[in-house]
Amino acid sequence: MKLLHFSDTHLGFSEYFKIDPDSGLNQREQDFYNAWHQVIDAIVAHRPDVVVHAGDLFHTPRPSNRAIRTALESIQKISDAGIPFIIVAGNHETPRIRTTGSIFESLALFPNVYAAYSGACERFRINDVDFYCIPHCSLTEEMDKAFATLKGTAKSQAKVFVSHGAWGGEYGMGEFNEQRLPDVEQLTRVHFDYIALGHYHRYVTVKENACYSGSTERTSLNEHNSTCGYLLVDLDSGERIYHDIATRPMIKLSIDCTDLTPRTIYDKVEEVATPAVREAIVQLVLKNIVDEAFLQLDVREIDAMFADAFYLDKQFLRITTEANRFLSHTKIESLPIEFERFLAALENKELDKQKLVQLGAHYLESD
Ligand SMILES: [Mn+2]
């Protein structure tokens, strides 16, 4: 049996105020739909025996009409092609209150769609292969019960386990409601031919027969060096092939500004602002900036060097001194910093500038 495993598609995710000129949608929202469509096209092209989505199909429990339509349209296509589609709910789309109802109830209406979303273990049999699916559970007791029902499973040709969470407590995303998954084989003494995991946004093999496929787009700059794609798994031979998809580049750049003047900082920034930043989400970290250089920096000069980038996140890490310890972690475009820069540029030598900076920061930050 050939299986296509993907996960964490986060349909409906949006970020930054940029509009896609073609669709009129938030550009990042569109990026996530583009990634999704690449996998759907791959499913139609590869025609696997079964498709497994390991959770976080949607970014929220109440996705937008556009996100729902995108998902339904594609799932209809897979359903029409006669390819079984197995999906478990992730933490992002699971409502906190059961009575809210799950969007997955609607997905389950399609023929060939097998959705696990009700906080219990579900078993779906496809061509004599059993798929044991544990969705995100809102309560620990629910999850313990779900795992308990896995013991003493029925005889089948092969077994696959599908779930969403942080395997062994590792592979977390730092989210408050994420669930910790035990090593299902150790816990139940059941051997699985394959374990398809979702939640961790990076393709990684956690043990011989268990993988996270990773996400299809990146939801945070922390994922800047993760690939995005899907996994093709051959249950009979054990062969697994990971396929990359094309996504918006995300780049982190860092410059050590120790002893640099604004002029030499601009030069260094210009060196790193290569053509690779075009249409990319870029984080530029300028660390160890001395106060004098920091207060004289013209942010517009730096912005101009990244005019081709999709988005530039600038981080200025000042060397903390007695004089700036109140403001060393404040953003450069904030009012207290503007005020500090204004005072630094004043010629007046009689003013106690340090005291004024502190007073200004106090008034500007209090409500
Ligand atoms: Mn996720």
Cα dihedral across residues 40, 41, 42, 46: positive or negative? positive
The separation between CA 306 and the C-alpha centre of its own chain, rounded to angstroms, equals 24
User: Can you give the pLDDT at residue 139?
Assistant: 86
Map out the domains of the chain with their CATH numbers: 2-244 (3.60.21.10), 250-365 (no CATH)
Global pTM reads 0.89
DSSP string, 148-217: HTTSSPPP-SEEEEEEESEETT-S----TT--EEP-HHHHH----SEEEEESSSS-EEEETTEEE---SS
Q: Which helix (H) or strand (E) holds 134?
A: strand 129-134
Q: How far does the centroid of ligand 1 lie from the alpha carbon of residue 65, in Å?
A: 20
CA of 203 to the centre of ligand 1 (A): 12
Greatest distance between any 2 Cα atoms in the chain = 87
Q: Please give the distance, rounded to the nearest whole angstrom, from the Cα atom of residue 28 to the centre of ligand 1.
A: 16
Residue 239 CA to ligand 1 centre (angstroms): 25
Average pLDDT, the chain: 91
- Give the per-residue pLDDT at 224: 94
pLDDT tens digit sequence for 114-144: 999 999 999 999 999 999 999 999 888 999 9
Residue 229, pLDDT score: 98
